Structure 1
Amino acid sequence: MRYPGRLRRSGVFAAVLALTGGVLTASAVTAPPAAALTDPVGFTADHLATYQTNGIVWSLAEANGVVYAGGTFTNVRPAGSPAGSNTTSAVNFAAFNAATGAPTGCPLSFTRSSGTATVRALAVSPDKSTLYVGGYFNAVNGTAANGLVAVNTATCTLRPGFAPDFGATVRALDVAANGTVYAGGDFQSVNGQTRRFFGAVTAAGALTAWNPDADDPGRTLKVTPDGQSVLIGGDFFTVGGANSHALAVTAAGTGALTRAYPGNFIPSSAVIKDIVTDSLSGGWYVGGEGAGGASFDGRLAMDLTTFDQRWRDTCQGATQALRVYRGVLYAGSHVHDCSTMGGFPNQVRKHLTAQAVDDPAMLGWLPDTNDGIGEPVGPRALTVSSRGGHDFLWVGGEFTTVNGVAQQALTRFADSPDTGAPSAPVVSLSAPRAGEVRVTWRSSLDLDDSRLTYRVYRDGGSTPVHTTTGSSLFFSRPQLTFTDTNVVAGRSYSYRITASDGTNTSTLSANASVTATGSASPYAERVLADGADLYWRYDEAGGAFASDASDNGDGGVYMNTPSYRSTPSAVTGSSALTLNGTDEYVYSDRLHHYTSPTPYSIETWFRTSTTRGGRLVGYGSNIGTAQGHTSGISDKILYLTDNGRLAFGVQVGSSGSRPTITSAASYNDNTWHHAVATQGPSGMRLYVDGAQAGSNATTGNRSYNGYWRVGGDAMATAWPNRPTSTYFAGQVDETAIYPSALTAAQVAAHHELADTPSGPGDTTLTLTPTEDAYVNGVAANTTYNDTQLASRGTTPYLGYLRFALPAAPAGQQLRSARLTFRTSSDATAGSAEPHTLVPVTGAWTESAVTYNTRPSLATTVLGTISGATAVSTDYSVELNAPVLGGALGSAYSFALTSSGTDSLRIWSGEVATAAYRPQLVLTFGAE
C-alpha cells in the first residue's frame, strides 16, 4: 500500500516491497525471464543425498574436495536410512566426498577416558595439507592427545610430534599463512602456561606469545586476510583487562587489543558464535546469539580496513554459522522475527538464509531444517567445497529433517542443477466491468528463486495470452493481475496459469472460469474511484487466496477455511464471507508500514447476531499463520462489543492510551450494516450506515510494520469494552482500506450505492432446485433421491438438478448466471478433476430416475467445475448465460457429469441446512 514512511530496501526484499506501490500489469513487463537461480543466490534449495550422523555435528571444514565433520556422534549411515540401520562406526569425526556425500574412509576416533568426548572445531592449513581438530578428547585412535591434533589430509593420519596440551575444550580454530594455529575455547592453560580462553601454537605445537587474556570463553576466531590481526568472539567482557564484550580485534603476534567494542555494541546478554572474512568485499561478518528482543541474534558486516560496522541485521533467531560464497552471506540460525529490520514479524522458525554481503535484506534462498536435538537450534556449521566441476554448500548441526524429509545432522546443496519447481499459482477471476475479465493470482513460492515468470492461458489454449514476472518471499507474496479486454459480454472464459524459474515450471493452476459482464457494479466503481488500495470483495469460491479488486495488488489469505460465497451479500451481484468467531480470519499477504499521523480509512460491511463481540478489521504487527500467531502490537481496530455496539480505536504511540469511539446503538441484529472508520488531520470519525456515529480529535496512532486482518487478532485487555471474543462470528463483505480519510459525503454515497444492484436497474434472483437426484451405474435400477448429488465418469455417477427459471423482468435480459454449491462431508467429496454441467434433453423425475432410465443430454457445456478439492467447502461455477437465457420462463434441467475417475459429491436440495443447498444465481440487466 502506498503509505508514507515505508522502509527502503535493496535486493530481493526490495523487489517484493516494490510491489506494494502497484500491481504488475501487462505494461509493467520489462524484466527478462527469471533464471533458474535468482541472482546473486549461488546454490539451489534442493538438498542432495548425504550420509547422516547419529548425533550433533558441531564443525565442518574442507580440503581438496573432502568435507570433514566433527561433533558428538558414534556412527554414520546413508541418506534415507533410519537411526540404527546400515551404520558405520565414526566416533565424533568423519570425512566425506564433497560431490557424492559418501564417506571417504578416514577412520579417526576421538575419545576420552572419562566424560563425553566431542570434536568442536576444525580448520585447514592454507596449503590444504593439514587438518587441525580441536575439542574435548584425550585420545585419537588410542594415541594420547589433549584437545588439539594435526591430521595429514593426504593420508588421514596424525602428524607425529604435534602434541599441544589444552586444559579444556577447544571450540574455535584458524590457521595463519605462517602456520600459526589460533585457538579459542573453555581452556585457561596451554602447554602448562596461562592462556585464558585464547591461545596459539606453532605448526610444531609450541606455545606462541599470542595472549588476548579474555575473562570468559572464546567461541570463534578468524585471522584477517593480511595476517596482521585475529578477530575473536565469544562470551567475554574484557580482553587484556580492557572492556570489549563478545567481540574484539587483536594483534596477530601478541594478542594485544587493537580494537575494542565496549558499551552496548554487542548487548551484554549476547555472545558471538561465528566470524568469517571475505577479501573480495573487504569485509568480515559476525553471527550472534542473544536472549530477548533487545539482544543481538543476527549478523554484523564489518570493514576489514577500519574494523567499523557496515550494517547490522537485527533479526532474532540465534545465528550459529556463517559462510561467504560469491558475494552472498549464507547463515545457519533459527531466525523467526525480522520486524526490527522492516521484515517479517515473529513466526515459524527458518534455519537457512542468505543475504548479499553489501545489504542485510533477505534473499530468496530458503531451504529449511528443523530445530532437531540438543539445545535445539538447527544448523551449527557451514562450509563450501568444490569437486567434479561443482560447488557444494555443506550444512551440519543438530537437525533431524531437511526440507521436511528425515535427514540427521548433515546435508548439502549444489550450485546446480535446480530441480525444484515453483508452487502453482492460486487464481481468482472477476468481471468488474463491461469488456473486461480480471485475472488475479497469488504469486508463487520457490525456495531458491524469488523472481518468477508467469504465463496465463485462456480457454485451454497452449499459447499464453499474457506473460509477466514478479518477486515474492515466504512472508510477502504480492498479488499479480492481468486484465483481459478481448472478451464478449455473456460469454464464459476459463484461465490457468503457470510459474517458472526459467528451468522448472509449476503445474497449471486449477481451472477457473467466469462469465464476462455487460455492466459494472456502481458500488465497486465508486470504492475504486475514491482511492481504495486494498479492496477484498470475498467472491472466491474457495481456497486460500483473497483477491484485491484494487490495482495495488494487496491480496489476502483466508485462514482456517471460512465459509465462502455466502448469500445474501451486502452488495447485489457479489457474495459475502462467513467467519466462525473462533479461528477464521483473513490477513493481508504483504508487509506494510505506517508512520503516524498518516491518514487512512477502514470500510467494511458486516452482519451478525453474536453477543460475544469480535474484531472486524484491524492492523497488527504479526502475519497470520497456520500456527495461530497473533499480533504483539495492534491498533487501528474496528470491533464490536458484546452488546453489539460498534467501536473504533487506536493506540497512541507506544503508550497505553487507546482513544476509542463507540456507537450508541447496537448492530448485532442479523442485518447488514455499513461501517467506516477514518483518521486524519481532523481526528477520528466513525460512520455507521452512512451517518456519523461519533468522533474525537485524536490524529496520532502507532507507527510500525504490520498486516491488515479481517475477522480476528489479539486485543489487549486495555481496549475499552473489550469483547469476550476477539474473533468475529458472522458475515463480512466489501472490505476496503484507503490511504486517505473519506469524507462524510463519500461515506454516504457508498452506503446509498450498496442498495443499487450490479448495474443500473439490474435484478438478481437466487433459486433453489425444485428437484434433484443422482444415478449410479453400479446400482443401475436404484433411485438416489437423498441429501447428496454425485458425479464420476468411470464407474459412473451422474447428478441432475431442475430449476424453475423465471421470465426476465420487463426490459431486461439475463446478464450472468452461476451455480453455488457446497461439497459434502463425505471423505471422497472433493475432486481434483473437472466436472461439467450440460443441459438435460430427456425426461426425468427425482423420485424415479435410475441409471437405466437416465435422460439424454445435450453436448453444450454450461460450465466446468474445477478445483473443488476440499470437503465441506463452498464453491461456485459460472454458467453460460446466453443458453440459460433462451430457457427463461420454463422448467430447466442440467446434469453434473465427468469423464474421470475421481468422484465429486455435493449437498442436494434435501440437506437439512438450507445454506448448504445448491443455488442458481441469475443477474438481469437492461437490454
Structure 2
Amino acid sequence: MRRSRGLTAALVLSLAGAGTGLGLVLMPEASAITPPVAFTADELPTWQPNGIVWAMAQAGGTVFAGGTFSTVRPPDGSGSGTEQEAVNFVALDAATGAPTSCKLAFTVGDGSATVRTLAVSKDKKTLYAGGYFGAVNGTPVSSAAAIDIETCTPKASFHPSFPATVRAFAVSDDTLYAAGDFSTVEGQTRERFAAVDATSGALRPFVANADEPGRAVAVTPDGKNVLLGGDFFTVNGQNTHALAVVNSATGAVAKTYSTIPSNSVVKSIATDATGFYTGNEGSGGGVFDGRIGLNLGDFSEKWRDRCLGATQFVLPYDGVLYSSSHAHDCTLNGEYPDGRRHHLLAQPTDYQGTPPAPVDGFVASPRKLGWFPDTNDGLGEGIGPRVMAVAEKGDTKYMWVGGEFTTVNGVAQQGLTRFASTGDVGAPTTPVASAASVKPGEVQVRWRTSYDEDDSKLTYRIYRNGSSTPAHTMTADSLEFERQQASWTDTTVKAGQSYTYRVTATDAAGNTSALSATASVTVPVSVQSYPNQVRADGANLYWRYDDTVSPYVADSSTDGNTSGIQLNAPALRQTPGAVSGASTAMGFNGTSQQVYSDHRQTVGASYTIETWFKTNTTRGGKLIGFGNNTDRSSGSYDKQLYMTNTGRLVFGVYNGSTRTVSTGLFETYNDNKWHHVVGTQGPSGMALYVDGQNKGTLNVTNFQQYAGFWHVGGDNLSSWPNRPTSNFFAGQIDETAVYPTALTQAQVKNHYDLAKAPTDTVSKVVTTEDTYINQGAPSQAYGTSTSLAVRGTSAYETYLRFNLPAAPAGTVLKSASLQVKTTTQTGAGTADTVSVVPVTGTWSAAGTTFNTKPTLGTTPLGSIAGVPDGSAVQSVELDTTAVSSVLGTGYSMALTSTGTDPLWIWSSEATAADAAPQLILTFGPK
C-alpha cells in the first residue's frame, strides 16, 4: 500500500540531487572467466628480483625461478618484508608470492653465473637446473645440477660436465635431455644436444649432433621421441632447420623440417596430450616470429600463427596455448595490424570443427582468446616475459610469468608476476553509446563493445529513460584489438517523443562497468528520407557523425555494425551538416585526424564508397579509402577517394598498378560548399560521381585483395597520381557509407536529391521556471525546490513555464510532448491519471503558494494514465493544435490530478541527469 507524502517528503527530496542515478545490477564477486581461459588478468602481489628471470618450474605449490639476479624484494608498496639475497635463484610460495625457506646460490668463478633452465622430475622430488655456473651453495658442478626438493640441497651424486651454457632441459622417467651451446659432454662429442642419466648424470648413448645452438627440448608424452629446437640447420648430418624429431634412445632423426625461414629459430617447445607447440624468434625480412601447432601422431603441422614479435615461451594448459612474446603485428594471422606490443597471449590449441583452408601454404592458428594481461619490454634485450609455469596450491591454480619486464598491467613490478584461476575483480571498460531514429516506431541503440582483460563475452544491459530496470539484456563478444559495435533496436517507442539510453557491461564474474554517458534521441513523426534510403539501398557501413563522445563513431546501417574509431580527436557535431535537418558533420584538421573502422574485413568484387565533404583546402587529402593498418600508415591502400591540391577528385584502385578516374582539370570542389562524391566498382568497371553526375568511368573490374580497415579523413597516398601535399583532409565530412554492391547512377542521383529535400527538425525547450503548491502548507512557496509534486487530495499542483519558439519558415508543428522525470524516492510514481492543462492566471516560482495559486484552463492538453515507480523519464503527448496556437510566446501549463496517490518529479533546479521538465516540439514542411 502506498503512503501519501506531504511537506516533509518534499523537503527531503529538495536535498537530493546529482548523486542520484540508476540502481545498477550488483552481483557478488566470483571466479568465473570466459572459457576456455583459465586465469584472470589481475596481477597478484609477488616478490620480485633485481634482474632477469630466464627459467621457471614448479612442484608441490612451490615455484622455482632462475635467472640473472642477486636479490629479491617485496612487491612495490606492500610494506611487508625486506630485500633478501637470492643469487640467480629463488623459491616462492605459489599462493602468496613470497620466498620460501629454500635458498640456493648459483655461482661461477669466472664471469657471470646464470640459470637458464629448470625442470622437475616426474615424481616431483628432484629439481634440475642448467645454465652457466660452477657451484650451487658451494658444491662444485658444471652448468648442470640436481637439487633434492625436500631438503633444498644439491645432489652430489649428480655431476655431469657441460663445458658451455645449458639452455633447456626435458625429463623422462630416467633420462635428462639437454640443449645448449656445448659441443662435448663428459669429454665426449655431443653437439648442442645430449642425454644423461637422471640420477647419476652419466652420459647416455643418445646422439643428436646439431651445427648451431640448441635452445629447446621436449619429450613426447609416450617417451619414444624427443623434440629439438634451436638455431641449427642440420641434425646428425640431415638437413632440418630450427626443429627436428629424434628417437629418444638413440637420437636418430625421425622427422625433419624445412618450412621455418632461415632467419628464424625455435626458442621453446611444449607438449600436451595431442600435440606439440613451438615458440619462434627471428630477425630480418620474411621472419617467422610466432607459434606452430603440430600433431603428435605424425609430427605434421596443424596450424601456424604468423604474428610478428619474438615468441619466447609456449605453455599448453587445458586446451589453451599461453605464450610470452612481444607480438606487435598479427596481420598475417587475420588479427591486429602492426602497432603496440602484446606480451602475453592465449589461443586454443586446436580448432573446434574444421580448420580453415591454408593461406600461403599454412593453416592460420585459432584466433586469440580474451586474455590480455600485459608487461613492458623491460631490461636486457627488451623482450618482456620469457618463461611461464602453472602451479597449484589449495583449490587455486596460478599462472606464473618471469622475464625482464619492469611493469605488469602498467604497475611497477620486475621480473616475476602471477595470475590466479579465481578472484576476477577487474570490471569491463564503460560502453560508449549512441542512439538514433530515422523513422517512427524504431530507435537504434548502438555502443562500442567494452574491453575486459580476461573476458571476451560480456553481458550488456540497456536502460531507457533513467529506469533502474533494463529495457533489454544481451551478450556480445569483444577482444582488446577488436571491439565491434553491438546494437539493439527498440520498437516500443512513440513518434515525436524523446528517449534516453544508457548501457552497462558485466563480465562473467559479475564485475559491472559504470553506466555509459546518456544517449538521447527523438523519434521522428515521419520517415527521414536520406538516411532511410541509404539503409534501404544496402549500406553495410554508415557513419553519420552525430556522435557526442569520443572515440566512437556509430554505424547507422541496418545490419553492418562496423563502427569507427576517432584518431587524434576530430571536431564533433559540426553544423550545418550535409543533409537538411538536425544531422551534424565531423571536422578534420588535415594533419593527423581520421576515423578508421573497428575490425579487419575484406571487400567483395562489387562495392560503393560514398561521402559528403566541405573544404577550402589547397593541400588535398584522403576522403575515404581502404588500408591494411589502423592508427599507423597503411602499407597496402586503395579503393579510395581523395582530393588533389587544386580541388580535383580522384577515385582509384590498385591491381598491380594504380588505376584512377578523376574529375576534369577545371572541375574543382574546394569551394567551401557541401559536395557529394561516390565511387563504384563492379562487373561494369569503375565509375566516379560528383553531386549526382557521372564524372568518368574506367573498364577495370579487379583490385588488390587483402584484409583491412576503412579510413575517413586520412591514410597513406604515397605514389598515387597527383598525390596531394597532405595525406590528411582538412575540412568537414558527413554521411559516409560503404555498400557491398555498385550503386546505379539513378541511386546515386536519388541520394543527392534527397539530401536537399526538406525534413523534420526537433526543438527541445526546457522550463524557464517551475514550482508546485501544497494544500497542507498553504502559505509555503516551493520555487527553489529540486522536486515537484502532483496530487488531487489533499492537493499538490505543479506549474511549468516555457518560452516557445516560433515555427521555422515553411514549417508547421507536427507533434508536441511534455517530458518529466520521476524522482528517486520510493513511491515517486502514481497509480492516478495526471493531466496537463493550460495556466490562465498569473504566477511566479518565487511567489506562488496554495493561497495564491493561478487559475487553470478546463480543456486538458494531454494526460498520462499512471506512472510506475523508479526514477525515469515520462512523456505526455500534447494537443498539437492547442500548442501551435501559442508558438512564439511565453506559455504556462499545470500538472493536476484527482486522486490521492502523489507523483514526484524533478524540477529544473535538480542536478540529476535529464531532470528538468521540457517540451519536445517537432516541426516539418507544410
**Do both proteins adopt the same fold according to a TM-score greater than 0.5, normalized to the shorter chain?**
yes
Q: 1:449 aligns with which of 455, 466, 486?
A: 455
Shift of 1:114: 2.1
SS at match of 1:432: strand
Q: Is 1:590 aligned with 2:596? A: no
Rate the CA distance shift 1:502–1:84 in 2: closer, same or farther, 3 A: closer
Q: In structure 1, how many angstroms separate the alpha carbons of the residues matched to 2:811 and 2:368?
A: 59
Q: In structure 1, how many angstroms separate the alpha carbons of the residues matched to 2:874 and 2:133?
A: 72
Rate the CA distance shift 1:204–1:738 in 2: closer, same or farther, 3 A: same
Bigger mean CA offset, 482-491 vs 219-228? 482-491
Give the structure 2 partner of residue 183 of structure 1. 178
2:813 touches 2:921 (CA, 8 Å); kept in 1?
Answer: no
Rate the CA distance shift 1:403–1:293 in 2: closer, same or farther, 3 A: farther
Q: 2:523 aligns with which of 512, 516, 519?
A: 516
SS at match of 2:658: coil
Q: In structure 2, how many angstroms separate the alpha carbons of the residues matched to 1:247 and 1:201?
A: 21
Q: In structure 2, how many angstroms separate the alpha carbons of the residues matched to 1:558 and 1:518?
A: 32
Q: Is 1:404 aligned with 2:410? A: yes
Q: In structure 1, how many angstroms separate the alpha carbons of the residues matched to 2:86 and 2:155?
A: 20
* 1:407-448 alpha-carbon deviations (Å, 9 max, x no partner): 111111111122222112111011211122221111111111
Give the structure 1 partner of residue 739 of structure 2. 738
Q: Is 1:672 aligned with 2:666? A: no
Shift of 1:106: 1.5
Shift of 1:900: 5.8
- Aligned partner letter, 2:312: Q
Rate the CA distance shift 1:480–1:766 in 2: closer, same or farther, 3 A: closer
- Aligned partner letter, 1:699: T
Q: Is 1:689 aligned with 2:681? A: no
Shift of 1:720: 0.4
For 1:29-108, what aligned pairs fall within 5 Å after superposition?
A: 36-81=32-77, 86-108=82-104
Give the structure 1 partner of residue 584 of structure 2. 575
Give the structure 2 partner of residue 607 of structure 1. 614
Give the structure 1 partner of residue 385 of structure 2. 379
Q: In structure 1, how many angstroms separate the alpha carbons of the residues matched to 2:106 and 2:99?
A: 17
| TM-score, structure 1 as length reference | 0.80
- Aligned partner letter, 1:813: L
Shift of 1:842: 9.1
For 1:786-801, what aligned pairs fall within 5 Å after superposition?
A: none
Rate the CA distance shift 1:70–1:811 in 2: closer, same or farther, 3 A: closer
For 1:178-257, what aligned pairs fall within 5 Å after superposition?
A: 178=174, 180-202=175-197, 203-257=199-253
Give the structure 1 partner of residue 822 of structure 2. none
Give the structure 2 partner of residue 914 of structure 1. none
For 1:904-915, what aligned pairs fall within 5 Å after superposition?
A: none
1:817 touches 1:878 (CA, 8 Å); kept in 2?
Answer: no
Q: In structure 2, how many angstroms separate the alpha carbons of the residues matched to 1:352 and 1:336?
A: 11
The alignment's C-alpha RMSD in Å is 3.5
- Aligned partner letter, 2:674: W
Q: In structure 2, how many angstroms separate the alpha carbons of the residues matched to 1:51 and 1:35?
A: 24
Bigger mean CA offset, 99-108 vs 671-680? 99-108
Q: In structure 1, how many angstroms separate the alpha carbons of the residues matched to 2:349 and 2:606?
A: 37
1:58 touches 1:72 (CA, 8 Å); kept in 2?
Answer: yes
Q: Is 1:164 aligned with 2:160? A: yes
Q: 1:343 aligns with which of 335, 343, 346?
A: 335
Give the structure 2 partner of residue 805 of structure 1. 805
Structure 1 unaligned runs (5+)? Answer: 1-33, 772-792, 794-800, 819-838, 845-876, 903-919
- Aligned partner letter, 2:924: G
Q: Is 1:470 aligned with 2:472? A: no
Rate the CA distance shift 1:148–1:315 in 2: closer, same or farther, 3 A: same
Rate the CA distance shift 1:137–1:803 in 2: closer, same or farther, 3 A: farther
Shift of 1:896: 12
1:521 touches 1:757 (CA, 8 Å); kept in 2?
Answer: no
* 1:50-97 alpha-carbon deviations (Å, 9 max, x no partner): 111111110110111111000111111112259999311111100111
Give the structure 1 partner of residue 649 of structure 2. 646
Rate the CA distance shift 1:75–1:606 in 2: closer, same or farther, 3 A: same
Q: Is 1:495 aligned with 2:501? A: yes
Q: Is 1:557 aligned with 2:565? A: yes
* 1:442-469 alpha-carbon deviations (Å, 9 max, x no partner): 1111111111111111112122111111
Q: In structure 2, how many angstroms separate the alpha carbons of the residues matched to 1:484 and 1:332?
A: 44
Rate the CA distance shift 1:921–1:558 in 2: closer, same or farther, 3 A: farther
Give the structure 2 partner of residue 782 of structure 1. none
* 1:171-227 alpha-carbon deviations (Å, 9 max, x no partner): 00011112x111111111212222111112112011111121100100010011111
Identity of aligned residues (%): 52
Q: 1:267 aligns with which of 251, 261, 265?
A: 261
* 1:320-346 alpha-carbon deviations (Å, 9 max, x no partner): 111111111111111111111222211
- Aligned partner letter, 1:888: L
Q: 2:426 aligns with which of 420, 430, 452?
A: 420
2:628 touches 2:706 (CA, 8 Å); kept in 1?
Answer: yes
Rate the CA distance shift 1:357–1:270 in 2: closer, same or farther, 3 A: same
Bigger mean CA offset, 287-296 vs 446-455? 287-296
Q: In structure 1, how many angstroms separate the alpha carbons of the residues matched to 2:112 and 2:593?
A: 50
Rate the CA distance shift 1:439–1:119 in 2: closer, same or farther, 3 A: same
Q: Is 1:546 aligned with 2:553? A: yes
Q: In structure 2, how many angstroms separate the alpha carbons of the residues matched to 1:694 and 1:620?
A: 24
Give the structure 1 partner of residue 254 of structure 2. 258
Q: 2:312 aligns with which of 305, 320, 336?
A: 320
Give the structure 2 partner of residue 702 of structure 1. 704
Give the structure 1 partner of residue 283 of structure 2. 291
SS at match of 2:746: helix
Shift of 1:274: 0.4
| TM-score, structure 2 as length reference | 0.80
1:571 touches 1:757 (CA, 8 Å); kept in 2?
Answer: no
Rate the CA distance shift 1:142–1:616 in 2: closer, same or farther, 3 A: same
Shift of 1:815: 5.2
- Aligned partner letter, 1:751: Y
Structure 2 unaligned runs (5+)? Answer: 1-29, 352-364, 769-785, 787-800, 819-838, 846-872, 893-905, 914-918
Shift of 1:749: 0.6
For 1:849-888, what aligned pairs fall within 5 Å after superposition?
A: 888=887
Give the structure 1 partner of residue 753 of structure 2. 752
Give the structure 2 partner of residue 623 of structure 1. 630
1:515 touches 1:878 (CA, 8 Å); kept in 2?
Answer: no
Rate the CA distance shift 1:883–1:730 in 2: closer, same or farther, 3 A: farther
Shift of 1:615: 0.4
* 1:647-706 alpha-carbon deviations (Å, 9 max, x no partner): 111111xx3434443444010000000000001111110000000111111111111110
Shift of 1:380: 0.3
Q: In structure 2, how many angstroms separate the alpha carbons of the residues matched to 1:291 and 1:326?
A: 32
Q: In structure 2, how many angstroms separate the alpha carbons of the residues matched to 1:464 and 1:384?
A: 40
Q: In structure 2, how many angstroms separate the alpha carbons of the residues matched to 1:119 and 1:662?
A: 68
Aligned length: 791
Shift of 1:502: 3.1
2:816 touches 2:879 (CA, 8 Å); kept in 1?
Answer: no
- Aligned partner letter, 1:322: V
Q: 1:124 aligns with which of 115, 120, 125?
A: 120
Rate the CA distance shift 1:64–1:529 in 2: closer, same or farther, 3 A: same
Rate the CA distance shift 1:423–1:766 in 2: closer, same or farther, 3 A: closer
Q: In structure 1, how many angstroms separate the alpha carbons of the residues matched to 2:703 and 2:186?
A: 63
Shift of 1:766: 12
SS at match of 1:594: coil
- Aligned partner letter, 1:667: Y
Rate the CA distance shift 1:400–1:299 in 2: closer, same or farther, 3 A: same
Give the structure 1 partner of residue 772 of structure 2. none
Q: In structure 2, how many angstroms separate the alpha carbons of the residues matched to 1:162 and 1:252?
A: 21
Give the structure 1 partner of residue 831 of structure 2. none
Rate the CA distance shift 1:539–1:255 in 2: closer, same or farther, 3 A: same
- Aligned partner letter, 2:654: Q
* 1:3-56 alpha-carbon deviations (Å, 9 max, x no partner): xxxxxxxxxxxxxxxxxxxxxxxxxxxxxxx99322211111111111111111
